Amino acid sequence: MSTEKIPYKIYLSEDELPKQWYNVRADMKKKPAPLLNPATKKPVTAEELGAVFCDELVKQELDETNPYIDIPEEIQSFYKMYRPAPLVRAYCLEKALGTPAKIYYKFEGNNTSGSHKLNSAIAQAYYAKKQGLKGVTTETGAGQWGTALSMACSYFDLDCRVYMVKCSYEQKPFRREVMRTYGASVTPSPSMTTEVGRKILAEYPDTNGSLGCAISEAVEAATSSEGYRYVLGSVLSQVLLHQTVIGLETKTAMDKYGIKPDIIIGCAGGGSNLGGLISPFMGEKLRGEADYRIIAVEPASCPSLTRGIYAYDFCDTGKVCPLQKMYTLGSGFMPSANHAGGLRYHGMSAVLSELYDQKLMEAICVEQTAVFEAAQKFARIEGILPAPESSHAIKAAIDEALKCKETGEEKTILFGLTGTGYFDMYAYAAYNDGTMSDYVPTDEELRKSFDTLPKI
Amino acid sequence: MSTEKIPYKIYLSEDELPKQWYNVRADMKKKPAPLLNPATKKPVTAEELGAVFCDELVKQELDETNPYIDIPEEIQSFYKMYRPAPLVRAYCLEKALGTPAKIYYKFEGNNTSGSHKLNSAIAQAYYAKKQGLKGVTTETGAGQWGTALSMACSYFDLDCRVYMVKCSYEQKPFRREVMRTYGASVTPSPSMTTEVGRKILAEYPDTNGSLGCAISEAVEAATSSEGYRYVLGSVLSQVLLHQTVIGLETKTAMDKYGIKPDIIIGCAGGGSNLGGLISPFMGEKLRGEADYRIIAVEPASCPSLTRGIYAYDFCDTGKVCPLQKMYTLGSGFMPSANHAGGLRYHGMSAVLSELYDQKLMEAICVEQTAVFEAAQKFARIEGILPAPESSHAIKAAIDEALKCKETGEEKTILFGLTGTGYFDMYAYAAYNDGTMSDYVPTDEELRKSFDTLPKI
């Protein structure tokens, strides 16, 4: 353990970077429920999943026993181009809040995709290339995942077709240009290019789109094209697995300086960042080696953990994907267009849903003007313009730090700063202009979307 | 000297960060020519400069003898929030080019302002605050400097008024929003808010604006407001001084691993990045301790070093600033609106102009479609989406690396990667769409703008 003063930013050396991902399911006594085939309602087989996903990723998706999975050399090399991500001590924020709490954040925004999404994108592109595929298809909401995947595909010379949620496509033309610069094709979803897209448009011609729609289109595009597979940026267990580089680096850095977090906070949409950050800490908790308070923060406009139902549901609007048991609002849920940024998926990672159901973590939801207030404060004090998604975690971390100010407790708070907000200036402009509004679905609206749950 | 393999990224520890800036003028036998009062044509006094600039910055501007100037503790602390900037070994680019050259770049884009500009912004804001001022005024072209200054002013709770070159204001609404998020006010220039702006608009109602115009407006706004001073993001010797943190960090990192660059390349607009990067190396060259080939890269559309005249000129269109001897195109020069990004100032830093005149460095100019071709290639290979400005250096570095491929020479090439292109997606879109064009001023156009030079 180092005895020197904690620096503003802890950068691990390349030797200290993780060489294996950590599979938290191996330490869970009660595992997440299996994915089901939507036709037979029986657990999906590797063969069935192989029609949609790359073979190696199917193996990772179904692996509940191996705690550590080697990171291939080629992926480790790519990680070195933008990792380690710094673990930052928020000295300035602590001072500005006047809190005795010690605040740390793991900053994943120092790469062109602007977020942590690249950690899984490069892994998925690598396995696709290794399998000899021509290309991959995917969906993107806020655009971080699509950008990350287009970068990863460009690196491995794979074709990349992105279905981008329509309102995001229109609000974020520059996101689209970044993807094009990396050679990807970008289609607003729902589109007329797929059967499922045409069906959705016929039923809801004015729809803003949703991640659920875009997933359906991307899956159809993959399964109807020779040499293509579908890849997904969150929700799946394989994605959480790749994202554990976040938590593993964080834990190594904290151990090195003898820091133990009391509270760990992450924003949660599909759960990839939160799952990646907390996994190594959750592993200790599951093995009874340590205890941590873990908090998922979700938008009040899309509150799958805090107001959803734990049940089997469709992962996509077109109902072509396997059924997953998860906290969900129903696949028919369409987040309000006034909701800025990502975190708009109707369900939550099966792993995180199960951990939440076992009361191993908490969840809260926050409204977006409060989130942007925290974002602006953070930008001015810590100098980083955060993504709206990340700012949910900032808001919760500030609130916890202010509680410490009241009680005088010197808690150590760790949160995940998943990315930057450079492509979210429309939303910042609305906040700056005072025209941003909040949206919270009514109980009646949720009841209606729960009606879209399958009967199992 | 470390014997380990050179990592992808060299991060210095906080202890290794520079505690002093390096003033290259102290090692120049022939100094840059003094600034002149535009009315009397005599060297300006500290008192005269003090009406426009902060007192401590005036001292730095006029200091030609002290080689090292202490970096105040408060500035060192702020630097720690986003520095050290990594020195990156471009392994992937080397491999893709198939060159025996070793390529390194110093990446200054890992902060919200998106560029190296923050290094001087925080220093200038600090001295303004220390002097008890209410606020500062400035101009910005591409927007990097304005963003950096708004961040710095927000940190020190200073008012910040930015005059933004009109075409950039219109092309980059999101840049404006970042500045507003940091609490700055942003006015498109030329504007009706100043006398000089009104005069320029009367003469050229359809002007796209220029840095020279915006400087005049910002100076007028500062000198006509109680408790305000004007600050500038490039050209001045004080700015080059602050930017030497780039070169000092680079040199420390290279020395640590026993790396000696053969060629050092930087883009050059007003010269702040280039001057900051090369200063410590140029110091060795001036003292006869080492030799380096140093190359300034400028846009063919604004070629002050490669096609300008070394003469006294106005620093601004309104002719209110001191006269500076520099390589210049004439203060009447208006860069074409089709020129994307920064590097559009009509003149060049007096320090760099003098070094260039003494043949201690070379200069080349490149056209913008070739620059964007290099930018896209770099983005795809190295994973960082570069700013158009920085991409001038990338283009030159790639060309030098390809020469090494032909000759088989294993040269070590260092270049400055000044920032990211997240706010330049309009320009990338034009490149992606194939609608980007090049512009090179004719000899006749340059002759006309040379006519705007003062008779001294």
Q: Do B422 and A423 touch (CB under 8 A)?
A: yes
Span A63-110, pLDDT tens digits: 999 999 999 999 999 999 999 999 999 999 999 999 999 999 999 999
Tens digits of per-residue pLDDT, A228-266?
Answer: 999 999 999 999 999 999 999 999 999 999 999 999 999
Give the mean pLDDT of A213-224. Answer: 94
At residue B4 the predicted structure's pLDDT band, cuts being 50, 70 and 90, is: low
- CA A241 to chain CA mean position, Å: 12
| pLDDT value at residue B338 | 76
pLDDT for residue A212: 85
Identify the residue among A169, A377, A380 best suited for mutation to test binding to B, counting B beta carbons within 10 A and taking the highest.
A380
Contacts 24+ apart (CB under 8 A), A87-91: A87/A9, A87/A10, A87/A249, A87/A250, A87/A253, A87/A254, A88/A8, A88/A9, A88/A10, A88/A382, A88/A417, A89/A6, A89/A7, A89/A8, A89/A9, A89/A10, A90/A382, A91/A8
Q: Mean per-residue pLDDT for A153-171? A: 94
Structure ipTM: 0.94
Question: Is the pLDDT reported for residue B12 higher than 70?
Answer: yes
pLDDT of B1 reads 47
Residues 6+ apart with CB under 8 A from B262: B292, B293, B411, B412, B413
* Residue range A126-146: mean pLDDT, rounded: 96
DSSP element (H, E) containing B174? helix B173-181
- Write the residue in A14, A78, A82 that is nearest to B7 by C-beta: A14
Q: Order of strands, edge to edge, in the sheet holding A412-417?
A: A9-10, A87-89, A102-107, A412-417, A263-267, A293-299, A362-366
Nearest-by-Cβ selection for A383 from B11, B81, B180: B81
In order of A147, A151, A318, B51, the CA distances from B93 in angstroms are: 20, 15, 42, 49
Which residue is closest to B87 within chain A, CA to CA?
A81
Contact B8 A81 (CB under 8 A): yes
pTM, to two decimals: 0.96
DSSP-derived 3-state class of residue A395: helix
> Which chain B residues are Cβ-neighbours of A154 within 8 angstroms?
380
Amino acid A423: pLDDT: 93
Q: How far apart are CA A338 and CA A208, in angstroms?
A: 10
pLDDT digits (tens, 9 = 90+) for B22-52: 999 999 999 999 999 999 999 999 999 999 9
Query: A61 CB near a chain B CB, below 8 Å?
Result: no
pLDDT at B317: 83
> Using one digit for the tens of pLDDT, what is the confidence trace for A300-310?
999 999 999 99
CA distance A365 to chain B (A): 24
Residue whose pair of structure tokens reads 């999975």 in the numeric block: A69
Compute φ and ψ for B49, nearest 5 degrees: -65, -30
Range A402-411 average pLDDT: 98
Nearest to B427 by CA among B440, B442, B438: B438
Helix/strand/coil for A286: helix
pLDDT digits (tens, 9 = 90+) for A360-383: 999 999 999 999 999 999 999 999
Residue B285 distance to chain A (closest CA, Å) = 32
What share of chain B has pLDDT > 70, as a percent? 99
Question: pLDDT exceeding 90 applies to what percent of chain A?
Answer: 91
pLDDT digits (tens, 9 = 90+) for B311-334: 999 998 888 889 999 999 999 888
Locate the DSSP E strands across B122-167: 135-140, 159-165
Search chain B and give the residue with CA nearest A84: B9
C-alpha distance from A218 to closest chain B C-alpha (Å): 23
pLDDT higher for A332 or A2?
A: A332
pLDDT attached to residue A1: 47
Chain A nearest-CA distance from B329, in A, is: 34
- State whether A177 and B432 contact (CB < 8 Å): yes
Cβ-proximal residues to B433 (8 Å cutoff; 6+ apart), any chain: none
Given the DSSP bridges, would you call strands B102-107 and B87-89 parallel, antiparallel or unpaired? antiparallel
Contact A110, A84 (CB under 8 A): no
Residue A407 CB contacts under 8 Å (≥ 6 apart), including other chains: none
Question: Could you say which residues from 363 to 402 on chain B have a Cβ atom under 8 Å away from some Cβ of chain A?
Answer: 376, 379-385
Q: Give the pLDDT confidence of B246-286 residue by residue, as tens digits.
A: 999 999 999 999 999 999 999 999 999 999 999 999 999 99
Q: Mean of the per-residue pLDDT values for chain A?
A: 95
Of A8, A180, A432, the CB nearest to B14: A8
What whole-number distance in Å separates Cα of residue A125 and Cα of residue A136? 8
Tokens representing A96 are 């500005």
- In B64-134, beta strands by DSSP E: 68-70, 87-89, 102-107
* pLDDT for the residue numbered B208: 86
Answer whether B181 sits within 8 Å of A8, measured CB to CB.
Answer: no
Structure tokens, A176:
């689209």
Is A111 an 8 Å CB contact of chain B? yes
3-class state of residue B22 by DSSP: strand
Confidence of residue B163 (pLDDT cuts 50, 70, 90): very high
Residue A11 near chain B (CB below 8 Å): yes
Query: How close A400 gets to chain B, by Cα (Å)?
Result: 22
- Pull the structure tokens for residue B15: 């202890």
Sign of CA dihedral A16, A17, A20, A26: positive
* Residue type (1 letter), A146: G
pLDDT tens sequence across B181-227: 999 999 999 999 999 999 999 999 999 888 888 999 999 999 999 99
Tell me the H-state helices in A182-271.
195-203, 211-223, 237-256
Q: What are phi and psi of A212, to 5 degrees?
A: -60, -45
SS3 of residue B404 by DSSP: helix
Buried b (16+ CB within 10 A) or exposed e, B45-65: eeebbbebbbebbbbbbbbee
pLDDT attached to residue B357: 98
User: A7 — contact with chain B (CB < 8 Å)?
Assistant: yes
Cβ atoms within 10 Å, residue A439: 15
Q: What is the pLDDT of residue A4?
A: 63
Q: Which of B380, B417, B432 to mutate to test the interface with A (most CBs of A within 10 A)?
A: B380
What are the tens digits of pLDDT across the range B397-445? Answer: 999 999 999 999 999 999 999 999 999 999 999 999 999 999 999 999 9
